[in-house]
Structures are given as C-alpha cells and as structure tokens.
Amino acid sequence: MSQAKKHAFITGAGTGIGRSIALTLAAEGMRVTLAGRRHTPLTEVKNLIVDKGGEALVLDGFDVTDAASVEQNIAKSISFAGEIGVLVNCAGEAPSAPFDKTDLDLWNRVLGVNLTGTFIVTQAALSSLRLSGNGRIINIASTAGLTGYPYVSAYCAAKHGVIGLTRSLALELARTDITVNAVCPGFTDTPLLDNAVEMISGKTGRSIDDARASLARSNPQGRLVTPQEVADTVLWLASEKASAITGQAIPVAGGEVMGG
C-alpha cells in the first residue's frame, strides 16, 4: 500500500503535536481520521487538510478510555477511509502535583488517558492494521518515559508504561508486517507546555518568559522542540524506509536523553 493510499488514525489530533502529525501525514496523501475531545480544533485541522485537497474525518467527543465508544468510532473511520495503516496514539495530559498531593483520582485519570487509552485504542485497531498490510503503530510517549521529572509522577509512570507496552507488542508482532515504536519528545512548544509554563510562573513568581526559558534550558540545544520535528519523526516511522525499526523509543529532545 502506497503512502498516498494509507489511512492514518490519530488520537489527540486537534492541537499541538497531534495536529502537526495529522497535517504532515495528510500532506503525504494519507487519508486521516482526526480523533479527539473538542469539535472546534479538530474541524480547523480538517479544513486545513481539505483546503489542500486531502481527506479527513472528525471524530469529536472521542474518549480513549471508553472501550465501547472507541470500537464504534474505529468502525466509523474504517467505513470512511478503509483499513487503518498507521495508528498514532497521541492523546495525553500531564497535570502537575507533588507526589503527596497526587490523589488516586488524579493518578487514575493520568494513567487512564496516557496508558490505558493507548492500550484500548491499539487493541481496537489491531485487526484493521493486520488487514491493511505494512501497518504502523506509533505511540507518542515522552522523555518522561525514559527518565524522571519531579511533580509529574503519574505522567512519568504512564509514559514509562507506554514504552513498556510498545516494546512488548513490537516483539509479539515482529514476525508480521506491523511495526510498533514510541516517539519521545522533550519539552515541546505546544499548549500542554503553555500550561506547565503558567503553573511554574504562578508558583514561583517568575515571568512567563523566564519560566519558558527554564524549560528550554533542559534541552542541550537550548531550545524547545517544535511539533513539526516530532511529526517528521512520525512520518519517517510510518514510511517503508523504517520497516526494520520496531520496539524503539526514539527521543526527539536535542540530546536531553541519550538512547532509548
């Protein structure tokens, strides 16, 4: 199946990294399903794709933790664009709290969206990926899945779990034509990072610019990663050129984390 005929199913597709991934894969001629919670940003992405001659389906109100709903929506997307050739699990959230202030509701919510949601969506899409030929499962993890950060224990635990799931499933599927990889962005210039910057500023009294610069300094290149850089990595993993790459956790972080 050529790239131009593939169907890419992307969760968290309305903003940030998911948005860039959707636009990048659509620019390669893929039909894309845009799954996420909010109608307006998803529709904005769809309009950008359609304006350039592409095809996109919006699945708003998409809850990655609701298994029955996920199955129904995946069936709807297959009716729209055929079997899923590329699955990108990008839905996530990263609320911040000290460990002793992380209650069970917060813990369960963060693991539910970031880890259990990846499990549910992947399991629901797997039979379609098998049918599509040369399927690609690409999980957007984080450098938080490769190292530790303070005040985001639930997020770190969830993203470590995503990488473990990636490696396990890659071995299960190694003798098929499906590859499974994780992309691990460092601090990336997205709305999720904006929330972190506002929290740092509010708690420390530092300016927004100073708080943003402090996160950029964690990258040895002294800058924030761009969503497009993450999307370009996803595009490569989705291509035939990466057919021997599976079970990997690839940092996109300017050298902040070495290896994966």
52-58: which pairs have CB atoms within 8 A and are 24 or more residues apart? 52/26, 52/27, 54/26, 54/27, 54/29, 55/26, 55/31, 55/81, 56/22, 56/26, 56/31, 56/32, 57/31, 57/32, 57/33, 57/81, 58/34
Report d(CA 92, CA 23) in Å as an integer.
Answer: 19
Cα 18 to chain centroid distance, Å, stands at: 6
Q: Which of 146, 88, 95 is nearest to 118 (CA)?
A: 88
Catalytic residue, candidates 155, 192, 197, 256: 155
Instruction: Confirm if 81 and 92 have CB atoms less than 8 A apart.
Output: no
User: pLDDT truncated to tens, each residue of the chain (260 aa)?
Assistant: 456 689 999 999 999 999 999 999 999 999 999 999 999 999 999 999 999 999 999 999 999 999 999 999 999 999 999 999 999 999 999 888 899 999 999 999 999 999 999 999 999 999 999 999 999 999 999 999 999 988 899 999 999 999 999 999 999 999 999 999 999 998 877 776 666 656 665 666 667 676 667 676 778 888 888 999 999 999 999 999 999 999 999 999 888 888 64
- 194-232 in b/e form (b: 16+ CB < 10 A) is eebbeebbeeeeeeeeebbeebbeebeeeebbbbbbbbe
155 is catalytic: yes
Q: How many C-beta atoms lie closer than 10 Å to residue 88's C-beta?
A: 30
Write out the two tokens for 178: 């499906």
For domain 3-186+226-252, which CATH number applies: 3.40.50.720, 3.40.50.300, 3.40.50.970, 2.40.110.10? 3.40.50.720
